[in-house]
A and B are shown apart, each in its own frame.
Chain A
Amino acid sequence: MAENSILIVEDERTLRRLLEYRLGKTYQVRTAANGEEALDRVHEEAPDLIVSDIMMPKMDGFALQDALSQEKATRAIPFIFLTAKADETSKQRGMRTGVDDYITKPFDIDQLLSRIDRLLERANVYQSQLDAKLGQDFSERLMPKRMPEEPGYHATFYNKPREYGGGDIFDWKRAGDDYFFTLGDVMGKGLQAKFYAFSFLGYVRSSLKAMMESTRSPAKLMQKINQVLVEDEVMENTFASLLLIRWNPKRHELTYANAGHCRPVLVTDNGPELITYSDMILGLKGDTEYQDSTLTIPPGAAFMAYTDGLMEQQTPDGTMLGEEGVMTCTEHLHTADAPIDELLQRVLDASHNDIFDDDILVFWLQRNA
């Protein structure tokens, strides 16, 4: 975690220096000699916590606290009063104005440090709980609630997002006899990646909707999505790997374009077969051209697509499981009752850990024998 920053507001130079020195060992410290200066510092960059004297020239501690509480952006910064005013009236006034703690001079520096610690920890816990909640919410919205139901097929998916995982997306849409599947991974980690993934999925959905009138070619759709991503300022520096798959269950046909995504696998009696065609990742070059490839799903075979969390799972020798490793784990799974569960178990068995390090997303399309 980044070092916490503290602003010290104290008019007496010696004490200011002493605090700067002591707190500087643990935190990133800035100082101000009065309330006015403190407001300037806060507006340059908001600190994680403020330790302030009460009696100061120009603007005193009460006025500073009052000014900060007027603004939404600064209202929640933890605030500790540090003062010689040991009398009850000041103390009560201080507490009433919404300060988080109150320490009277002469004070014990260790006591101050421990109170700072406690307040910062509280703020950090609150922040990470909020992040986790938001992340969870984004993750849920990035996945479909149900799957297509077609006679002779069984379509399933599994998704397990991690709090500090990335931005996996999965979606599908029906268009006449066809289904369009979108499976991808927006680069980056944590909440930011999930947020970008959320915006990105919005782009993909609206592009699909707008273009489906004129084309059913995943490659053409991919080209359009790539252009939007490269040209649009909001999405600048968003990079994503993506599989766009058109499935026609009547003809048992899959037509797909692959923008730098983990290559899917066709699992048959002859063993797993890598579906090799792929092109450049989205967001890098606006004029990238994509191609459609078509394959037929034989009776009893299964098509499997996934995101890199599976492939990047570490093995006991410190390397990654890799594409070949994932392929090996899919062997004969086209005859399994719960192929995804079995696959995940095999991956974990081959790994150094009994849980997954990253987000996991697997899409399994099984044709009945």
Chain B
Amino acid sequence: MSLELKTHNEETVIVRIGKALDFRNASDFKAQCQEQVQEGARNFILDFSDTGILDSTGLGSIFSLYRQVSPLNGQVVFASVSRPVQVVVQLTRTYKVFRQFPSVEAAQDTLA
């Protein structure tokens, strides 16, 4: 599965989700993000530009990450949200928690 993590600065990590975040790679996503949190990351920018599938297990792993960083005053934000991801976010009403940005750059500017 093609998860790609990139450190933007000490506190902020950009995760390129790739084609899918679902039951197949959700635990991988969880483990990799956890590692980043242990190393001091607080903010996560999730790049959904190519994402066609986000199932409930995948979404659950994002929620876990949110639960993990919010006590540390961290944020999880969504960038370049694709249509299928938007549908899931609308349905679960989670846009109230995950701020959305048109691009990774826009998210970086706000979090900086």
Interface residues, chain A, with chain B CB atoms under 8 Å away:
166, 185, 187-190, 236-237, 239, 241, 260, 262-263, 278-281, 283-285, 308, 312, 319-320, 322-323
CA distance A320 to B93 in the complex (A): 19
Interface residues, chain B, with chain A CB atoms under 8 Å away:
23, 55-57, 59-60, 63-64, 66-67, 84, 87, 91-94, 96-97
Chain A residues with CB under 8 Å of B97's CB are 280, 284-285
CA distance A284 to B91 in the complex (A): 14
Q: How many A-B residue pairs have CB under 8 A?
A: 58
Main secondary structure, interface of A, reads: loop
Whether A187 contacts B57 by the Cβ 8 Å rule is: yes
Whether A260 contacts B92 by the Cβ 8 Å rule is: yes
Chain A residues with CB under 8 Å of B57's CB are 187-189
Whether B63 contacts A308 by the Cβ 8 Å rule is: no
CA distance A241 to B93 in the complex (A): 10
CA distance A312 to B64 in the complex (A): 22
Least Cβ–Cβ distance between A229 and chain B, in angstroms: 11
Which of chain A's residues has its CB closest to B59's CB?
Answer: A187
Whether B96 contacts A237 by the Cβ 8 Å rule is: no
Which of chain B's residues has its CB closest to A192's CB?
Answer: B57
Instruction: Return the contact of A166 from the options B56, B64, B96 (Cβ within 8 A).
Output: B56
Whether A187 contacts B56 by the Cβ 8 Å rule is: yes
Whether B60 contacts A188 by the Cβ 8 Å rule is: yes
Least Cβ–Cβ distance between A317 and chain B, in angstroms: 12
Which of chain A's residues has its CB closest to B22's CB?
Answer: A189
Instruction: Return the contact of A280 from the options B55, B56, B84, B92 (Cβ within 8 A).
Output: B92
CA distance A166 to B63 in the complex (A): 17
Chain A residues with CB under 8 Å of B92's CB are 241, 260, 280-281
